[in-house]
Structure 1
């Protein structure tokens, strides 16, 4: 599929409307169609692909970035973590500014929020926050009860902290919990974060219910821990949903 995308006409030109530095490592790009066409409404959890670029003698592969905003907006938002060895992420951070153009696909992907009335739990680690944000907005729109759990290192790399806190204040059906594994001296427990340390299997088993529906995304070890905790609680496989940022893997076989 990636090779096909490189040679296809699936890419369209989009202009950068805004570029927002979320924290020390993540920057959001707000994109609108150059042709001013009505954007395809994405399904919560989907991503767009960015056309490969060439830098010197290096050429990137197609890269996917989850859409991190409410479905149905008149822009697409991608929130990109700068990776020192990531050609496209470095290029976006260092070279792409407001009014510049990038070429992207329409929204793609099968990791989407299902229609369901069950209480929803969204869990993210690091940049795994991006598809969770879109799912959160969709769940809010549906009036669904949501518990949003985010695990990060500290405030320097806490993506969407204020946006999430504002949503939790505005909507009674949204509960937000932050874990800081290595808080800074000026990070305040109870204000900037609710729990110090790592999200653990024990915390999940004590604080969550097997009768909820779960979506999670983050580093592989983080997701494996969550999967094992949910299975130990007796959560049905049907209500366990996750996304890999990288090669696909079946957590049940790891």
Structure 2
């Protein structure tokens, strides 16, 4: 995301809304955000009060000058920073205190054309969208968009399965009986349809790889993991630590985009994956649940970053599995979804206590 005029900085707010700004060389993050009319918390502007204190999720920067009362050495070592003083040395992701509404920054709205509707099975569809003003839509791999269902007042939320650099956006949709999006896709959808999207939203996104990574996905929960892997593949750099994905599904037909995973296994050094099917009648090589196929090397005695996306039952089962094994991952980011309901009913990602 780096440009010739500066570095891209993602400002991730507490309500899941993310805004992107470009910080020119020699300018602080706070100055650039205010020029973009995003009012992040700020008071003294000279590193004395700590009002703007944020947490850097990824990237490198010059922290600038400040007093210990505003930011202690321990906080700085942990990744906290002061946007009023810091200058990016790479693209950054900052966790900002407060909501986007408090910062007087609204969620973005975009219009897109449905270019392709692909059915993997009778219960799983893939959407390919061409977004107007694509260059204005920036997102982090793992985030989602709210998609308004044509012909209704309803909207549904879907994670990007395409990486941030993709020209066309892709999404995976798990259908539901009598669901409004299902009805649209099966009865009315046609190539050329115009759709309205809002976002990007969500705190479930890929951080810098600073230790081994374990990705867990269930069903269409593979979508955000695909976006993360595309980001890693597109970087052209080998991750500093191994990455393993365990992808589970109820039925054979529920496993989608396995060929894409094979391509990523070939292009991302240190990336491996397993697919697991729960159906006892399946002839799939690995059967049961994802937790039954995790090895000690995947857990790394807890020094691991876990990214989990799947239905509520899967998320709860994984949490219980970690507790039973006495494993507390260094970071545990998760997102659970329910089929056919608005995203606000979902639990947003968190970190293991």
Q: TM-score per shorter chain, which class?
A: 0.7 to 0.9
Question: What TM-score results when the alignment is normalised by the length of structure 2?
Answer: 0.59
Residue 179 of structure 2 is matched in structure 1 by 86
Shift of 1:235: 4.3
Which residue, out of 138, 159, 163, partners 2:260? 163
Paired with 2:322 and 2:107, the residues of 1 have a C-alpha distance of 42
Corresponding residue number in structure 2 for 1:107:
200
Name which of 191, 198, 203 aligns with 2:289: 198
Q: 1:44 aligns to what?
A: 141
Task: Check if 1:12 corresponds to 2:110.
Answer: yes
Instruction: Determine the C-alpha separation between the residues in 2 that align with 1:148 and 1:213.
Output: 12
* Contact in 2 for aligned 1:20/1:29 (Cα 8 Å): yes
Matched, 1:133 2:226: yes
2:210 equivalent among 114, 117, 137:
117
Q: Name the counterpart of 1:32.
A: 130
SS in 2 for 1:243: strand
Secondary structure class of the residue paired with 2:201: coil
Aligned residue number for residue 208 of structure 1: 298
Supply the RMSD in Å over aligned alpha carbons: 2.9
Deviation of the 1:45 alpha carbon: 0.6
Q: Any idea what the Cα deviations from partners look like across 1:14-46, whole Å, max 9, x if unmatched?
A: 11222222233211111112x444242310110
Alignment correspondent of 2:160 = 67
- Shift of the 183–159 alpha-carbon distance from structure 1 to 2, 3 Å rule, reads farther
Which of these residues, 329, 333, 339, is aligned with residue 241 of structure 1?
A: 333
The structure with the largest alpha-carbon Rg is: 2
Does the C-alpha gap of structure 1 residues 239 and 156 become closer, same or farther in structure 2, counting only changes over 3 Å? same
Shift of 1:172: 3.4
Unaligned runs of 5+ in 2: 1-14, 16-105, 339-344
1:143 matched to 2:241: no
Instruction: Determine which of 159, 174, 178 is the counterpart of 2:275.
Output: 178
Asked whether the 8 Å contact 2:142–2:228 carries over to 1, the reply is yes
Hey, what's the Cα distance between the residues in 2 that align with 1:37 and 1:237? 36
1:136 and 1:146 in contact (8 A); partners too: no
Q: Is the 8 A contact 1:125 1:217 kept in 2?
A: yes
Count of matched residue pairs: 235
